[in-house]
Every structure is written in C-alpha cells, then in structure tokens.
Amino acid sequence: METRQWEHAGLTIEGCSLAGIQTSLTLPQYSIALDVANGLPHAISMNTFFISHGHMDHAAGIPYIISQKAMRAHKKPRFYMPESMLAPMEEIMHQWGRIEGHEYDYEFIGARLGEEYEIKKNIFMKPFPTIHRIPSFGYSLYRKFRKLRWDLAGSSTAEIATVRKEGEDPTEERDELLVSFTGDTQIEFLDQTPEVRKSKILILETTYLDKKKTIRSAKDWGHTHLEELLPRLNTISSEKIVLIHTSARYSWEEAQGLLHSLLPKNERERVMLFPRK
Ligand SMILES: [Zn+2]
Ligand SMILES: [Zn+2]
C-alpha cells in the first residue's frame, strides 16, 4: 500500500492502514512511529517506535526497520511494546543476527500503563489499555503545560499576586492530548480510559462498516464496528476522529460511500477515514 499524508491543526500524520494487511503511521514532527506494518520506507527515519500489539500487520517490520537504520548509520532506535512481546522479539532479533552474522543495536522497552515517555521538552507519550485478542495498548501523545489553578479562575491580577507573595504557585500542570492511536481494539476501551475522548485527534480502529459483518463477529475478533461508534460519537470531543484499519473487503470508494451514508450529517466533517488515495 502507498502511504498518504494527512494534516490537522499543524500536525502531520503519514502512513497507511488496512486490516490484516498493513498499519503504520508516523508523526514526522516528533520522529515517532505508531506501529510499523511490515517495515515501510516512511518509518525508517523515525527515532522512536510505539507498537500497539504483536500481530504481523502491525509489528512484522520491526527487524527490517532495525536493519535499515543500521545500514544508514542512524542512531539506535527505541521500540516500546507490550511486555509480552519482549522475549520473543529479542529471540527473533537473535536469530536474524545468526542468519546475517551481524549483531544489531536497538532498544526494546516494555510499555507500562501509568508511565509516560518523554519525546521532547513538554511532549510525552503514554500507553492506555485496549481490548484485543492478544496483549495490546493504544498510545496518547500529549503536551504538558502550566495554567492558572482551577480554584483561582476569575481571580484578579492583585489576588493572584497575593497568592504568589504567600509563596504559593498560582498555576498547575495540565495535559493537552494531541493524538491518540488505538491500534486494534474493541470499542469498550473508551469506557476504561474516558480521557482519550478528549484527544484533539483520535485515530480509531473501525474494521467493519456495514452489515457484511455483525457487531458480534467484530467483538469476537477484538475489533470495532462502525455501528458501535455511531451512538458514542456525542461522547467524544475530538476535533477529528480518523478511522483506520478498515477491512480490505471495502474498496476505498465503497468505504467512503458507506461512511458518508451512515454518519449523521453533522459528523461528516469530523469523522473521516485515514486517506488511502
Ligand atoms: Zn490489525
Ligand atoms: Zn490485531
């Protein structure tokens, strides 16, 4: 599949996603990749890789990307992934090393809930739980900033100056969720981590769009059906909801047509498919 570039609010996302085939998105401004599919050229120049889960269409490219980066003398890449992937991936790298007679330099780190990983000053990534057939995470990129404390909202400059004089900090730390990426998941992850609904951009797997597959069968495979998303749209405050991982059974035109006909009119701007064409 060819990769596409999409932009919203100054943030560029490049990549492609089709269920069972390839999912890999990059945020070049932050040198981050979200999943690596089978190792696509657009991800090779990234520094940090966040892997949602170990299905091959999301993660098979890890060894290839490591080898490409070594060949280009890039700095050592760092991969975050569910902890259950660590030992098998180390083993796979070891076996590739045997085949090639070469030892690669890379870093595999087990992502943990509750941890935050610094990308650059004030910008962090944190994993959130998702519900799939094997251990899986989604990831949220967010910005930390300081803002006037809630309890001081509406205070005058003089009142705030008094707080300062008393040796207190009138500001508090806040998070702004910039992008959340789900990898593969059932829709109920939204109930486990409701804050994800506030991400400026929510990249959400929606494998099935119409009656060709039932909600039941979407759940059996650990996926989301568009019919499950529709009644939840009004609980999501994201500026953009970008659907990825649609089933290959829908051509681009068919998927576009289905989405257009099934979405309420007022959501047709906000909810979109990650471009395939
Ligand atoms: Zn998948
Ligand atoms: Zn999967």
Please report, for the domain that includes residue 87, its CATH number: 3.60.15.10
Give the phi and the psi of residue 72 in degrees, each rounded to 5.
-95, 10
Buried b (16+ CB within 10 A) or exposed e, 30-56: bebbbbbbbbbebbbebebbbbbbbbe
Q: Is residue 94 part of a domain?
A: yes
Strand pairing report for 117-120 and 123-129: antiparallel
Q: What is the pLDDT of residue 110?
A: 98
pLDDT tens for the 277 residues of the chain, in order: 899 999 999 999 999 999 999 999 999 999 999 999 999 999 999 999 999 999 999 999 999 999 999 999 999 999 999 999 999 999 999 999 999 999 999 999 999 999 999 999 999 999 999 999 999 999 999 999 999 999 999 999 999 999 999 999 999 999 999 999 999 999 999 999 999 999 999 999 999 999 999 999 999 999 999 999 999 999 999 999 999 999 999 999 999 999 999 999 999 999 999 999 8
Residue 156 counted as domain residue: no
Choose among 163, 41, 51, 174: nearest CA to 106. 51
Element containing residue 255 per DSSP (H, E): helix 252-262
Cα 158 to middle of ligand 1, angstroms: 56
192 domain-assigned: yes
| Phi, then psi, of 68 in degrees rounded to 5 | -65, -40
Give the ligand whose atoms come closest to the C-alpha of residue 20. Answer: 1
Under 8 Å between Cβ of 18 and 47 = no
Residue 121 buriedness (CB in 10 A; 0-12 / 13-18 / 19+): exposed
Q: Contact, 3 vs 42, CB < 8 A?
A: yes
**Is 10 a domain residue?**
yes
* 158 domain-assigned: no
Q: Which residues constitute the domain of residue 92?
A: 4-146+173-267
Instruction: Judge whether 157 lies within some domain.
Output: no
Which ligand ends up closest to the CA of 53?
A: 2
Number of domains observed in the structure of the chain: 1
Q: Ligand 2 centre and the CA of 230: distance in Å?
A: 22
pLDDT score, position 1: 86
Asked whether 28 and 43 are in contact (CB, 8 A), the reply is no
Residue 272 resides in a domain = no
Rounded to the nearest angstrom, the distance between the alpha carbon of 73 and the centre of ligand 1 is: 31
Could you tell me the pTM of the whole model? Answer: 0.95
Domain presence at residue 159: no
Ligand 2: distance of its center to the CA of 57 in Å?
8
**Ligand having the closest approach to the CA of 55:** 2
